[in-house]
């Protein structure tokens, strides 16, 4: 059975999350339904990572096995025809049987978008965290370099999902501002449940004056969830990219290469 990888984008507001759940709409559910319609039998779809309800994706990666070979170009179109408008297949490639979207990932990148102004463009509201009060982003910029590297991010994890080992490595962290539009970028080898949203919510608390910078830095040595800030809302978060070596899109069989 040939194996394929697909890069998927979706609007998270339509779903209870990526992972299939009983009686609730999920991205995995609609992908598997589309693949079953093409193959005539159930097909299991494996994602590079999970996203919570309301969280979007620009570059989620999934893999799946089909009972017969497909041309990646035609497979992308056939899958898209069976998906709702809130989900799009960006590219498809045939990959080795050993490829695994989750376990072969070297890093994952999330981006969070925030709008900091009294008024917000209505077209952006479904995709940003709208914070109306003034914030001191100079403090945030000074703290971001401290997030890079390996830390105990347990304080930035939903309490019920905190693992025994809550150490993770952030490879890149940045924050760029253009007027009221703020973009956070986090790339790491792994993330805890709600980690990015709690990080952003806690940084917002520092910028608002509700937490001292020193208290934020102390949280990188461990701590309780109650000591960190609020969880930023899901609509501002995007699962942006996944890194592999070699990249599945580097093969000449990928849909992406056919349309360049």
The model's pLDDT over 1-19, given as tens digits with 9 standing for 90+, comes to 999 999 999 999 999 999 9
Each domain of the chain, given as residue ranges in start order, spans 3-104+244-259, 111-239
Mean per-residue pLDDT over the chain, rounded: 94
- Cα–Cα distance between 92 and 103 in angstroms, integer? 19
Overall fold of domain 111-239: Alpha-Beta Plaits (3.30.70)
Q: Above pLDDT 70, what percent of the chain?
A: 96
**Rounded to 10 degrees, what is the CA torsion of 258, 59, 142, 191?**
-140
Q: Is 50 exceeded by the pLDDT of residue 108? A: yes
Whether the Cβ atoms of residue 198 and residue 156 lie closer than 8 Å to each other: yes
The model's pLDDT over 45-95, given as tens digits with 9 standing for 90+, comes to 999 999 999 999 999 999 999 999 999 999 999 999 999 999 999 999 999
pTM for the complete prediction?
A: 0.93
3-104+244-259 against 111-239: fold identical? yes
Is 10 assigned to a binding site? no
Cβ atoms < 10 Å from Cβ of 235:
20
Single out the catalytic residue among 52, 71, 97, 257: 52
The model's pLDDT over 120-169, given as tens digits with 9 standing for 90+, comes to 999 999 999 999 999 998 889 999 999 999 999 999 999 999 999 999 99
- Cα–Cα distance between 143 and 206 in angstroms, integer? 10
Q: Is 60 exceeded by the pLDDT of residue 27? A: yes
CATH architecture of 3-104+244-259: 2-Layer Sandwich (3.30)
The model's pLDDT over 204-241, given as tens digits with 9 standing for 90+, comes to 999 999 999 999 999 998 899 999 999 999 999 999 99
Q: Is 80 exceeded by the pLDDT of residue 242? A: yes
Q: What are phi and psi of 76, to 5 degrees?
A: -60, -50
Is beta strand 129-131 parallel, antiparallel or unpaired with respect to 107-116?
parallel
Q: Is 80 exceeded by the pLDDT of residue 259? A: no
Active site residue 52: yes
Q: What are phi and psi of 111, to 5 degrees?
A: -130, 140
Whether the Cβ atoms of residue 37 and residue 46 lie closer than 8 Å to each other: no
Q: What are phi and psi of 207, to 5 degrees?
A: -65, -25
Check residue 255 and give its pLDDT: 46
The whole-number average pLDDT for the span 97-126 is 97
DSSP 206-239: HHHTSS-HHHHHHTBBB--GGGS-PPPPGGGEEE
């Amino acid at each position: 059975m040939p194996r394929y990888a697909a890069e998927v984008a979706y609007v998270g507001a339509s779903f209870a999350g990526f992972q299939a759940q009983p009686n609730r709409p999920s991205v995995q559910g609609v992908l598997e339904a589309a693949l079953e319609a093409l193959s005539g039998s159930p097909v299991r779809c494996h994602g590079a990572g999970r996203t919570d309800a309301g969280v979007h994706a620009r570059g989620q990666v999934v893999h799946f096995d089909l009972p017969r070979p497909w041309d990646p170009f035609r497979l992308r179109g056939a899958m898209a025809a069976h998906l709702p408008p809130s989900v799009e297949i960006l590219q498809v490639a045939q990959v080795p049987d050993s490829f695994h979207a989750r376990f072969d990932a070297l890093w994952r990148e999330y981006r969070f978008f925030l709008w900091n102004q009294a008024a917000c463009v209505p077209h952006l509201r479904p995709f940003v965290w709208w914070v109306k009060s003034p914030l001191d982003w100079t403090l945030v910029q000074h703290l971001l370099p401290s997030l890079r590297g390996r830390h105990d991010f347990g304080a930035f994890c939903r309490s019920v999902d905190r693992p025994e080992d809550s150490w993770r490595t952030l490879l890149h962290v940045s924050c760029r501002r253009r007027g009221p539009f703020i973009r956070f970028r986090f790339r790491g080898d792994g993330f805890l449940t709600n980690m990015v949203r709690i990080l952003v919510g806690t940084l917002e608390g520092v910028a608002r004056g509700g937490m001292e910078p020193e208290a934020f830095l102390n949280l990188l040595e461990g701590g309780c969830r109650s000591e960190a800030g609020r969880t930023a809302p899901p609509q501002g978060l995007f699962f942006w990219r996944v890194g592999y070596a070699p990249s599945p899109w580097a093969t000449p069989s990928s849909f992406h290469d056919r349309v360049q």
